[in-house]
Amino acid sequence: MALKLITLDLDDTLWHTTPVMQRAEQACYDWICAHCPGFADLYSRDGLRQYKSELAECYPSLQHQISRLRFETLRRAALQTGCDSSTAHDLASAAFEVFSQERSTLELFAGAETMLQQLSARWPLIAATNGNADLERVGIHHYFSAHLNAETVGAAKPQGDIFLAALAHAGVEAHECLHIGDHPHHDIDAARTVGLHTLWVNLDNRIWPDTFSPPTLQVRTLSEVVELIQRWQQP
């Protein structure tokens, strides 16, 4: 079997996502509180997060459009403080820019950049993620031939749309593609369901859940990835 494409998850595969998101949300909240009088009186940070969840429930089409959902949450909350429509839009845009900058300021896992260099030198590499990190700001965009996420594709993993879009973009068949990711359901089982081979990045030494068929390959450090794929490819 000749491997012709690798798709790669980002959040919690290349970096720890939770601390990045916490810092980004705090920076965004602090900024809009400082620039929108009365905002802090209406919403705490947790309250704003709850409001975002309520909007997602009311507007299901926004659930996978996470950037638009966050912007819309900020815009509507600003309107509630008494801002006019234009001011609320500008405040939400600026606050979201603060969030986006912090969201994409992160530290890669050990071995991640070397892995990206080696993978992209051998195979086309497509980012396939539910998240909205800006790869140019992260500094790794040049390793990828495409960046597909839930917002651009119109559906989030574990739905298979992102994988199908990657196959179509590269012009390859499912059995010619390997997906690398950390999440047993959203990455490994979802990719397997549409026919991709899979490599589970298991940095935390977790036990594979019995509810899913096992991955094709598994690593415990990113430094193992390229060598393992090469051995798997050998006849």
Candidates 105, 101, 107, 151; CA nearest to 128 is 151
Query: What is the residue whose two structure tokens read 């749309």?
Result: 161
Assess whether pLDDT exceeds 80 at residue 235. no
Q: Give the contacts of 49 (CB within 8 A, at least 6 positions apart).
A: 25
Where does the chain hold its CATH 3.40.50.1000 domain(s)?
5-15+108-233
CA–CA distance, 56 with 73 (Å, rounded to integer): 9
Q: 42: burial class by Cβ within 10 Å (0-12, 13-18, 19+)?
A: middle
Average the pLDDT over 98-127 and give the result: 97
Beta partners for residue 219, in sequence order = 201
Sole residue written with tokens 């459009």: 65
Q: What percent of the chain has pLDDT over 70?
A: 100
Count CB-CB contacts under 10 A for residue 68.
15
CB atoms within 10 A of CB 211: 8
**What is the pTM for the complete model shown?**
0.93
Which pLDDT belongs to residue 1?
63
Q: Does domain 18-103 have CATH number 1.20.120.1600?
A: yes
Alpha-helix runs per DSSP H in the chain: 18-35, 39-42, 45-58, 66-80, 85-103, 112-122, 135-138, 150-153, 161-170, 190-193, 225-233
- Check whether 61 has a pLDDT greater than 90: no
Q: What stretch(es) of the chain map to CATH 1.20.120.1600? A: 18-103
Q: Is the pLDDT of residue 221 over 90?
A: yes
- With bands split at pLDDT 50, 70 and 90, how would you rate the model's confidence at 131? very high
Q: At what angle do helices 45-58 and 18-35 cross, to 10 degrees?
A: 100
CATH number belonging to the domain at 5-15+108-233, selected among 3.40.50.1970, 3.40.50.1000, 3.30.10.20, 3.40.50.1580: 3.40.50.1000
Secondary structure (3-state) at 203: coil
